[in-house]
Structure 1
Amino acid sequence: MDGELWDVTDAEGVPVGRVHRRGDPGFPTGLFHIVSAVCVVRDDGRVLITQRAVAKDWALSWEFPAGSALAGETSGNAAVRELREETGLVALPESLELVGRVTEATALLDLYVAHGVRRSTLTLDPKEVRDAAWVPLAEVRARCEDGQMAGPWVERLAVLWDALVRASKVARPYPQ
Protein backbone atom coordinates (compact mmCIF):
# COMPACT_ATOMS: atom_id res chain seq x y z
CA MET A 1 0.00 0.00 0.00
CA ASP A 2 1.16 3.52 -0.70
CA GLY A 3 2.33 5.31 2.37
CA GLU A 4 3.62 2.33 4.32
CA LEU A 5 6.97 2.90 6.00
CA TRP A 6 9.89 0.53 5.44
CA ASP A 7 13.10 0.23 7.40
CA VAL A 8 16.09 1.03 5.20
CA THR A 9 18.73 -1.68 5.63
CA ASP A 10 22.28 -2.45 4.65
CA ALA A 11 23.15 -5.38 2.38
CA GLU A 12 22.89 -7.76 5.36
CA GLY A 13 19.34 -6.63 6.17
CA VAL A 14 20.35 -4.66 9.26
CA PRO A 15 18.35 -1.42 9.66
CA VAL A 16 20.50 1.69 9.26
CA GLY A 17 18.24 3.94 11.35
CA ARG A 18 16.25 5.42 8.45
CA VAL A 19 12.81 4.74 7.00
CA HIS A 20 11.43 5.20 3.50
CA ARG A 21 7.80 5.77 2.60
CA ARG A 22 6.58 3.44 -0.15
CA GLY A 23 5.95 5.34 -3.35
CA ASP A 24 8.27 8.21 -2.46
CA PRO A 25 11.08 8.89 -4.93
CA GLY A 26 14.73 8.67 -4.05
CA PHE A 27 15.21 5.33 -2.36
CA PRO A 28 18.80 5.52 -1.03
CA THR A 29 21.34 4.10 -3.46
CA GLY A 30 23.13 1.01 -2.22
CA LEU A 31 20.59 0.34 0.51
CA PHE A 32 17.58 -1.98 0.70
CA HIS A 33 14.23 -2.81 2.27
CA ILE A 34 13.03 -6.29 3.23
CA VAL A 35 10.44 -8.18 1.20
CA SER A 36 9.13 -11.43 2.67
CA ALA A 37 7.42 -14.29 0.84
CA VAL A 38 6.05 -17.62 1.97
CA CYS A 39 5.57 -20.92 0.17
CA VAL A 40 2.89 -22.80 2.09
CA VAL A 41 3.24 -26.58 1.72
CA ARG A 42 0.24 -28.79 2.45
CA ASP A 43 0.55 -32.32 3.84
CA ASP A 44 -0.01 -33.68 0.32
CA GLY A 45 3.01 -31.71 -0.97
CA ARG A 46 1.03 -29.12 -2.94
CA VAL A 47 2.02 -25.48 -2.56
CA LEU A 48 -0.09 -22.34 -2.56
CA ILE A 49 0.35 -19.79 -5.33
CA THR A 50 -1.71 -16.67 -5.77
CA GLN A 51 -2.69 -14.71 -8.86
CA ARG A 52 -2.06 -10.97 -8.67
CA ALA A 53 -5.09 -8.66 -8.86
CA VAL A 54 -5.86 -6.83 -12.11
CA ALA A 55 -4.94 -3.40 -10.68
CA LYS A 56 -1.41 -4.47 -9.62
CA ASP A 57 1.77 -4.49 -11.64
CA TRP A 58 2.36 -7.93 -13.15
CA ALA A 59 -1.45 -8.21 -13.24
CA LEU A 60 -2.85 -11.75 -13.37
CA SER A 61 0.61 -13.29 -12.98
CA TRP A 62 1.20 -15.94 -10.32
CA GLU A 63 3.46 -15.72 -7.26
CA PHE A 64 3.88 -16.81 -3.67
CA PRO A 65 2.17 -14.56 -1.11
CA ALA A 66 4.61 -11.73 -0.40
CA GLY A 67 5.07 -8.13 0.60
CA SER A 68 7.35 -5.58 2.17
CA ALA A 69 8.21 -5.66 5.84
CA LEU A 70 6.92 -2.60 7.65
CA ALA A 71 9.21 -0.42 9.75
CA GLY A 72 10.04 -2.29 12.97
CA GLU A 73 8.77 -5.63 11.64
CA THR A 74 10.97 -8.71 11.28
CA SER A 75 11.13 -10.54 7.99
CA GLY A 76 9.38 -13.60 9.47
CA ASN A 77 6.61 -11.51 11.01
CA ALA A 78 6.11 -9.76 7.66
CA ALA A 79 5.76 -13.15 5.92
CA VAL A 80 3.14 -14.24 8.46
CA ARG A 81 1.23 -10.94 8.12
CA GLU A 82 1.29 -10.96 4.32
CA LEU A 83 0.08 -14.57 4.20
CA ARG A 84 -2.82 -13.75 6.54
CA GLU A 85 -3.72 -10.49 4.75
CA GLU A 86 -3.63 -11.96 1.25
CA THR A 87 -5.07 -15.44 1.87
CA GLY A 88 -6.54 -15.65 5.36
CA LEU A 89 -4.16 -18.51 6.25
CA VAL A 90 -2.49 -18.38 9.66
CA ALA A 91 1.12 -19.40 10.25
CA LEU A 92 3.31 -18.73 13.27
CA PRO A 93 6.74 -17.14 12.75
CA GLU A 94 8.37 -20.19 14.36
CA SER A 95 6.71 -22.45 11.75
CA LEU A 96 8.71 -20.75 8.98
CA GLU A 97 11.95 -22.05 7.53
CA LEU A 98 14.08 -19.56 5.64
CA VAL A 99 14.80 -20.94 2.18
CA GLY A 100 17.11 -18.11 1.20
CA ARG A 101 17.56 -14.47 0.32
CA VAL A 102 17.85 -12.80 -3.07
CA THR A 103 19.38 -9.35 -3.43
CA GLU A 104 17.46 -7.15 -5.85
CA ALA A 105 17.96 -3.49 -6.87
CA THR A 106 16.40 -2.00 -3.71
CA ALA A 107 15.09 -5.07 -1.89
CA LEU A 108 16.27 -8.15 -0.06
CA LEU A 109 13.71 -10.88 -0.79
CA ASP A 110 13.45 -13.55 1.93
CA LEU A 111 11.59 -16.70 0.88
CA TYR A 112 10.22 -18.96 3.61
CA VAL A 113 8.54 -22.36 3.58
CA ALA A 114 5.67 -23.01 5.98
CA HIS A 115 4.55 -26.57 6.72
CA GLY A 116 1.59 -27.48 8.86
CA VAL A 117 -0.29 -24.21 8.44
CA ARG A 118 -3.54 -24.57 10.28
CA ARG A 119 -6.36 -25.51 7.98
CA SER A 120 -8.43 -22.54 7.06
CA THR A 121 -10.61 -21.55 4.19
CA LEU A 122 -8.80 -19.25 1.81
CA THR A 123 -10.10 -15.71 2.15
CA LEU A 124 -8.50 -13.74 -0.67
CA ASP A 125 -7.98 -9.97 -0.45
CA PRO A 126 -9.42 -8.76 -3.79
CA LYS A 127 -7.12 -5.71 -3.83
CA GLU A 128 -4.11 -8.02 -3.82
CA VAL A 129 -5.21 -11.42 -5.11
CA ARG A 130 -7.54 -12.48 -7.91
CA ASP A 131 -7.27 -16.25 -7.46
CA ALA A 132 -5.27 -18.95 -5.69
CA ALA A 133 -4.30 -22.52 -6.49
CA TRP A 134 -2.74 -25.47 -4.69
CA VAL A 135 -0.30 -26.98 -7.19
CA PRO A 136 2.60 -29.44 -7.24
CA LEU A 137 5.90 -27.59 -6.88
CA ALA A 138 6.89 -28.77 -10.37
CA GLU A 139 3.98 -26.74 -11.74
CA VAL A 140 5.51 -23.58 -10.26
CA ARG A 141 8.63 -24.22 -12.34
CA ALA A 142 6.51 -24.89 -15.43
CA ARG A 143 4.66 -21.60 -14.86
CA CYS A 144 8.02 -19.81 -14.67
CA GLU A 145 9.03 -21.32 -17.99
CA ASP A 146 5.78 -20.44 -19.78
CA GLY A 147 5.53 -16.85 -18.52
CA GLN A 148 2.68 -17.27 -16.02
CA MET A 149 4.72 -16.34 -12.95
CA ALA A 150 5.34 -12.64 -12.25
CA GLY A 151 8.66 -11.61 -13.79
CA PRO A 152 10.52 -11.03 -10.52
CA TRP A 153 9.59 -14.56 -9.41
CA VAL A 154 11.25 -16.12 -12.43
CA GLU A 155 14.56 -14.55 -11.41
CA ARG A 156 14.07 -15.27 -7.70
CA LEU A 157 13.24 -18.92 -8.25
CA ALA A 158 16.17 -19.37 -10.61
CA VAL A 159 18.38 -18.59 -7.60
CA LEU A 160 16.34 -20.31 -4.86
CA TRP A 161 14.87 -23.33 -6.68
CA ASP A 162 17.09 -26.12 -5.33
CA ALA A 163 16.82 -24.84 -1.75
CA LEU A 164 13.04 -24.49 -2.13
CA VAL A 165 12.72 -28.08 -3.35
CA ARG A 166 14.73 -29.34 -0.35
CA ALA A 167 12.80 -27.23 2.18
CA SER A 168 9.40 -28.13 0.75
CA LYS A 169 10.04 -31.85 1.28
CA VAL A 170 10.90 -31.61 4.98
CA ALA A 171 7.59 -31.64 6.85
CA ARG A 172 7.60 -29.96 10.24
CA PRO A 173 4.75 -30.13 12.72
CA TYR A 174 2.85 -26.93 13.41
CA PRO A 175 4.05 -25.44 16.73
CA GLN A 176 1.47 -25.58 19.49
Structure 2
Amino acid sequence: MTERTVVVGAAVLNDDGRLLAARRSAPPDLAGRWELPGGKLEPGETPEHALVRELREELGVEAEPVARIPGEWPLKPPYTLHVWTARLLPGSADPEPLEDHDELRWLTQDEIWDVDWLDQDVPAVVEVARHAWEAPAREA
Protein backbone atom coordinates (compact mmCIF):
# COMPACT_ATOMS: atom_id res chain seq x y z
CA MET A 1 0.00 0.00 0.00
CA THR A 2 1.36 3.43 -0.95
CA GLU A 3 1.82 5.87 1.91
CA ARG A 4 -0.08 9.14 1.58
CA THR A 5 1.68 12.46 1.76
CA VAL A 6 -0.33 15.06 3.63
CA VAL A 7 -0.60 18.56 2.26
CA VAL A 8 -1.89 21.17 4.68
CA GLY A 9 -4.03 24.06 3.56
CA ALA A 10 -5.02 27.14 5.49
CA ALA A 11 -8.37 28.83 5.43
CA VAL A 12 -6.94 32.12 6.69
CA LEU A 13 -9.73 34.35 7.93
CA ASN A 14 -9.21 38.00 8.78
CA ASP A 15 -11.06 39.94 11.49
CA ASP A 16 -13.81 40.80 8.99
CA GLY A 17 -14.40 37.10 8.26
CA ARG A 18 -12.87 37.26 4.78
CA LEU A 19 -11.12 34.19 3.35
CA LEU A 20 -7.64 34.48 1.85
CA ALA A 21 -7.22 33.02 -1.64
CA ALA A 22 -3.87 32.73 -3.44
CA ARG A 23 -3.46 32.67 -7.23
CA ARG A 24 -0.86 30.19 -8.49
CA SER A 25 1.97 31.43 -10.67
CA ALA A 26 3.64 28.00 -10.97
CA PRO A 27 3.78 25.31 -12.18
CA PRO A 28 2.44 26.28 -15.64
CA ASP A 29 -0.50 23.82 -15.54
CA LEU A 30 -1.80 25.47 -12.33
CA ALA A 31 -0.88 29.09 -13.07
CA GLY A 32 -3.79 31.52 -12.92
CA ARG A 33 -5.97 29.28 -10.73
CA TRP A 34 -6.70 29.95 -7.06
CA GLU A 35 -6.05 27.84 -3.96
CA LEU A 36 -5.96 27.85 -0.21
CA PRO A 37 -2.34 28.58 0.75
CA GLY A 38 -0.29 25.79 2.31
CA GLY A 39 2.09 23.00 1.44
CA LYS A 40 3.58 19.60 2.24
CA LEU A 41 4.49 18.26 5.65
CA GLU A 42 8.21 17.83 6.24
CA PRO A 43 9.43 14.60 7.90
CA GLY A 44 8.82 14.70 11.67
CA GLU A 45 6.62 17.79 11.44
CA THR A 46 3.08 18.03 12.79
CA PRO A 47 0.40 19.35 10.42
CA GLU A 48 -0.04 22.43 12.61
CA HIS A 49 3.69 23.23 12.51
CA ALA A 50 3.74 22.68 8.74
CA LEU A 51 0.86 25.11 8.35
CA VAL A 52 2.64 27.83 10.33
CA ARG A 53 5.88 27.25 8.40
CA GLU A 54 4.18 27.22 4.99
CA LEU A 55 2.29 30.46 5.67
CA ARG A 56 5.54 32.11 6.76
CA GLU A 57 7.37 30.87 3.65
CA GLU A 58 4.59 31.49 1.12
CA LEU A 59 3.02 34.68 2.47
CA GLY A 60 5.50 36.17 4.96
CA VAL A 61 2.98 36.06 7.82
CA GLU A 62 2.86 34.68 11.33
CA ALA A 63 -0.32 32.70 11.89
CA GLU A 64 -1.78 30.11 14.18
CA PRO A 65 -4.04 27.18 13.37
CA VAL A 66 -7.48 27.50 14.94
CA ALA A 67 -9.49 24.40 14.01
CA ARG A 68 -9.27 21.49 11.59
CA ILE A 69 -11.96 21.46 8.91
CA PRO A 70 -13.48 17.96 8.94
CA GLY A 71 -12.56 15.82 5.96
CA GLU A 72 -9.64 15.16 3.68
CA TRP A 73 -9.47 15.60 -0.06
CA PRO A 74 -7.44 13.61 -2.57
CA LEU A 75 -4.94 15.50 -4.68
CA LYS A 76 -2.59 14.14 -7.31
CA PRO A 77 -1.34 10.82 -5.83
CA PRO A 78 0.10 10.32 -3.29
CA TYR A 79 -1.07 13.66 -1.84
CA THR A 80 -4.07 14.29 0.42
CA LEU A 81 -5.28 17.75 1.50
CA HIS A 82 -6.15 18.52 5.12
CA VAL A 83 -7.39 22.05 5.93
CA TRP A 84 -7.37 24.18 9.07
CA THR A 85 -8.86 27.55 9.75
CA ALA A 86 -6.07 29.89 10.78
CA ARG A 87 -5.73 33.45 11.94
CA LEU A 88 -2.96 35.96 11.52
CA LEU A 89 -1.21 36.82 14.76
CA PRO A 90 -1.40 40.41 16.02
CA GLY A 91 1.49 42.41 14.60
CA SER A 92 2.00 40.04 11.67
CA ALA A 93 2.84 41.60 8.33
CA ASP A 94 0.18 41.80 5.64
CA PRO A 95 0.27 38.67 3.46
CA GLU A 96 2.34 38.92 0.27
CA PRO A 97 2.65 36.40 -2.56
CA LEU A 98 6.24 35.24 -2.01
CA GLU A 99 6.42 31.72 -3.49
CA ASP A 100 4.38 30.11 -6.27
CA HIS A 101 1.71 32.85 -6.18
CA ASP A 102 1.32 36.18 -7.96
CA GLU A 103 -1.82 37.57 -6.33
CA LEU A 104 -3.81 37.30 -3.11
CA ARG A 105 -7.43 38.23 -2.49
CA TRP A 106 -9.53 38.48 0.67
CA LEU A 107 -12.95 37.10 -0.26
CA THR A 108 -16.27 37.69 1.47
CA GLN A 109 -18.91 34.98 1.61
CA ASP A 110 -20.56 36.58 -1.44
CA GLU A 111 -17.28 36.66 -3.39
CA ILE A 112 -15.98 33.18 -2.62
CA TRP A 113 -16.91 31.77 -6.05
CA ASP A 114 -15.67 34.83 -7.97
CA VAL A 115 -12.24 33.21 -8.38
CA ASP A 116 -11.31 30.15 -10.45
CA TRP A 117 -10.39 27.68 -7.69
CA LEU A 118 -8.21 24.69 -8.51
CA ASP A 119 -10.55 21.75 -9.08
CA GLN A 120 -8.99 19.80 -6.22
CA ASP A 121 -9.54 22.71 -3.78
CA VAL A 122 -13.26 23.19 -4.55
CA PRO A 123 -14.57 20.47 -2.14
CA ALA A 124 -12.34 21.84 0.65
CA VAL A 125 -13.51 25.41 -0.04
CA VAL A 126 -17.13 24.21 0.17
CA GLU A 127 -16.41 22.78 3.64
CA VAL A 128 -14.51 25.89 4.70
CA ALA A 129 -17.51 28.03 3.70
CA ARG A 130 -19.88 25.78 5.65
CA HIS A 131 -17.77 26.04 8.79
CA ALA A 132 -16.55 29.63 8.52
CA TRP A 133 -19.86 31.21 7.67
CA GLU A 134 -22.23 28.51 8.92
CA ALA A 135 -24.23 28.74 5.72
CA PRO A 136 -24.51 26.44 2.72
CA ALA A 137 -22.15 27.28 -0.11
CA ARG A 138 -21.82 26.01 -3.66
CA GLU A 139 -21.84 22.24 -3.85
CA ALA A 140 -18.67 20.54 -5.05
Using structure 2 for the length normalisation, give the TM-score. Answer: 0.79
Structure 1 pair 86–75 and aligned structure 2 pair: CA distance change class (3 A)? same
The question of whether the paired residues in 1 share the 8 Å contact of 2:7 and 2:80 is answered with: yes
Q: Distance in 2 between matches of 1:82 and 1:116?
A: 13
Q: Secondary structure at the match of 2:63?
A: coil
1:99 maps to 2:63: no
Aligned length: 131
Structure label with greater radius of gyration? 1
The question of whether the paired residues in 2 share the 8 Å contact of 1:40 and 1:117 is answered with: no
4+ aligned runs moved over 6 Å, structure 1: none
The question of whether the paired residues in 2 share the 8 Å contact of 1:56 and 1:128 is answered with: no
In structure 2, list runs of 5 or more residues that go unmatched.
135-140
Paired residues for 1:56-135 under 5 Å: 56-92=28-64, 95-104=65-74, 105-118=77-90, 119-125=92-98, 127-135=99-107
Q: How far did residue 150 of structure 1 move? A: 1.3
The question of whether the paired residues in 1 share the 8 Å contact of 2:25 and 2:102 is answered with: yes
Q: Secondary structure at the match of 1:30?
A: coil
> What is the root-mean-square deviation in Å for CA atoms of aligned residues?
2.2
The question of whether the paired residues in 1 share the 8 Å contact of 2:73 and 2:123 is answered with: no
Say which structure, 1 or 2, has more relative contact order (CA 8 Å, 6+ apart): 2
Structure 1 pair 57–67 and aligned structure 2 pair: CA distance change class (3 A)? farther
The question of whether the paired residues in 1 share the 8 Å contact of 2:96 and 2:104 is answered with: no
Q: Distance in 1 between matches of 2:26 and 2:111?
A: 22
Q: Secondary structure at the match of 1:141?
A: coil
Q: Which amino acid aligns with 1:102?
A: E
